[in-house]
Amino acid sequence: MKGLYVHIPFCGAICHYCDFAKRVPKNDQMIDDYLDALSREIATYQTHFDSIDTIYIGGGTPSLLTTNQLKKLFDALSFIHPIEYTMEVNPESYTTQKGLLMKQYGINRVSLGVQTFNEKLLTYMNRKHTNKDVFNAINHLKSIGMPYLSIDLIYAIPGQTIKDLEHDLAQIKCLDIGHVSLYSLILEEKTYFYHQYLHGKFKPADQDIEADMYALIMDELSQQGFKQYEISNYAKNNETSKHNIIYWSLDDYIGVGLGAHGFIEGYRTHNERALPKYIDHFQKEKIQQTEEMLLQDALIFGLRKLSGVSISHIEDRFNVHIFERFPRLSQRLDEGLVMIENDYLKLTRKGLFFGNQVFMEFIE
């Protein structure tokens, strides 16, 4: 499969944990100029249009755009006819008009940035929506027949309790949606939280509490009928994110927009993160991947999927014996962090908690 990622970097406010390429726009003209440049970049990939299976519009906050700006964006993509067409939405910037416009242009999957249903924690993270905004958006999207709905949640937020998380998980059941992504809060450089951390004003959640929360998430979502198919992703009725599976399967994807990354025909592409530079020439670098790089990525990304990686496929593709090439992997097998099942190397439940320890075996 082949995907197209489209980055919209604009936000009404900057979340305290976010390190993506983003900025608060000075005015509508800044957004319009960016969309003009983005449309030009999209057009440079015209030869790929017929082979693109998924589009994912992320950010930033794509739903911050006005309806006219969204039309400009959607028109630039209208020659592509993907199987899955996702747009990220923030609850406070969703409107019924924007929902109808998304449906009109063929978007069939919406990912709603919820993060938590504890409004005090939302304020702490500098999120601007309310729980009412979330339910209003989901209910309207259902009423217009949006086929696939997902929400993002964050856990291990400083100050968050197990009871808070239980409440969040209960709200998932109330929403009655088919997909959930749940990520632990990671302290990233160049964020407000990291600045606070350097000044002793931010203390990450206790690792044992984080592990307890992860176990609770897996067990509760399983009881709700979700199947975990990746370290942080859960789906009902096989409503997996086809676009994200492209990343984890090392398939090709194009990345357009400020700071976007892509992987096309053995090359990693990285776009400029500074807006003037992006508008001038889009791409910062294009790096051909060595066989060693591709092998490392195939194993690290592939093992994020609960289905794991085919040992025979990896060994045939890269002409290696995995356990000879990475001898310490046998120790991880003995420790119960990975297992082999019908030719597939995969993380065990215990391994899901210590995935980074496994992934480090492939980094030299």
- Cα–Cα distance between 1 and 263 in angstroms, integer? 12
Q: Both 322 and 193 in a single domain?
A: no
Q: Both 153 and 231 in a single domain?
A: yes
- Give me the residue label for tokens 């994110």: 241
On the question of pLDDT at 364 being above 90, the answer is no
- Cα–Cα distance between 185 and 28 in angstroms, integer? 32
Last residue of a domain, one of 193, 213, 246: 246
Under DSSP, is residue 338 helix (H, G, I), strand (E, B) or coil?
Answer: strand
Q: Both 241 and 296 in a single domain?
A: no
Per-residue b or e along 108-138, where b marks 16 or more CB atoms closer than 10 Å to that residue's CB: bbbbbbbbbbbeebbebbebbbeeebbebbb
Return the amino acid letter for 107.
Answer: I
Q: Both 56 and 194 in a single domain?
A: yes
- Cα–Cα distance between 134 and 113 in angstroms, integer? 9
pLDDT band at 317 (very low <50, low <70, confident <90, very high): very high
Q: Both 71 and 194 in a single domain?
A: yes
Residues in the chain: 364
- Cα–Cα distance between 234 and 223 in angstroms, integer? 12
- Cα–Cα distance between 69 and 257 in angstroms, integer? 15
Taking CA atoms, 78 is separated from 59, 160, 269, 343, in Å, by 20, 43, 24, 41
Under DSSP, is residue 77 helix (H, G, I), strand (E, B) or coil?
Answer: coil
- Cα–Cα distance between 311 and 346 in angstroms, integer? 10
pLDDT band at 45 (very low <50, low <70, confident <90, very high): very high
Determine, yes or no, domain membership for 124: yes
Q: Both 307 and 225 in a single domain?
A: no
Q: What is the mean pLDDT of the chain?
A: 96
- The stretch 221-230 carries a mean pLDDT of 98
CATH of the domain at 146: 3.20.20.70
Q: Both 212 and 144 in a single domain?
A: yes
Determine, yes or no, domain membership for 264: no
Q: Give per-residue pLDDT as tens, 125-165.
A: 999 999 999 999 999 999 999 999 999 999 999 999 999 99
Determine, yes or no, domain membership for 174: yes
- Cα–Cα distance between 253 and 265 in angstroms, integer? 9
Determine, yes or no, domain membership for 197: yes
Q: Which helix (H) or strand (E) holds 149?
A: strand 148-155
Last residue of a domain, one of 212, 246, 280: 246
Q: Both 189 and 335 in a single domain?
A: no
- The stretch 15-22 carries a mean pLDDT of 91
Under DSSP, is residue 16 helix (H, G, I), strand (E, B) or coil?
Answer: coil
pLDDT band at 21 (very low <50, low <70, confident <90, very high): confident
Determine, yes or no, domain membership for 153: yes
- For residue 137, what are the domain limits? 2-246
CATH of the domain at 349: 1.10.10.920
As a whole number of Å, the CA-based R_g of the chain is 21
- The stretch 263-276 carries a mean pLDDT of 96
- The stretch 29-53 carries a mean pLDDT of 97
Under DSSP, is residue 235 helix (H, G, I), strand (E, B) or coil?
Answer: strand
- Entry pTM: 0.96
- Cα–Cα distance between 46 and 265 in angstroms, integer? 15
- Cα–Cα distance between 3 and 7 in angstroms, integer? 13
Determine, yes or no, domain membership for 261: no
- The stretch 70-89 carries a mean pLDDT of 98
Identify the pLDDT of residue 164: 98
On the question of pLDDT at 15 being above 90, the answer is yes
Q: Give per-residue pLDDT as tens, 96-132.
A: 999 999 999 999 999 999 999 999 999 999 999 999 9
Q: What percent of the chain shows pLDDT beyond 90? A: 98
Determine, yes or no, domain membership for 279: no
Q: Give per-residue pLDDT as tens, 179-222.
A: 999 999 999 998 999 999 999 999 999 999 999 999 999 999 99
- Give me the residue label for tokens 């995969």: 346
Helix/strand/coil percentages in the chain, nearest 5: 45, 20, 35
Determine, yes or no, domain membership for 256: no
Contact partners, residue 184, CB within 8 Å, separation at least 6? 154, 155, 156, 205, 210, 213, 214
- Cα–Cα distance between 40 and 282 in angstroms, integer? 9
Counting the structural domains of the chain, the total is: 2
Last residue of a domain, one of 246, 277, 303: 246
- Cα–Cα distance between 5 and 55 in angstroms, integer? 6
Q: Both 71 and 12 in a single domain?
A: yes
On the question of pLDDT at 242 being above 90, the answer is yes
Q: Both 60 and 195 in a single domain?
A: yes
Q: Both 69 and 218 in a single domain?
A: yes
Q: Both 65 and 125 in a single domain?
A: yes
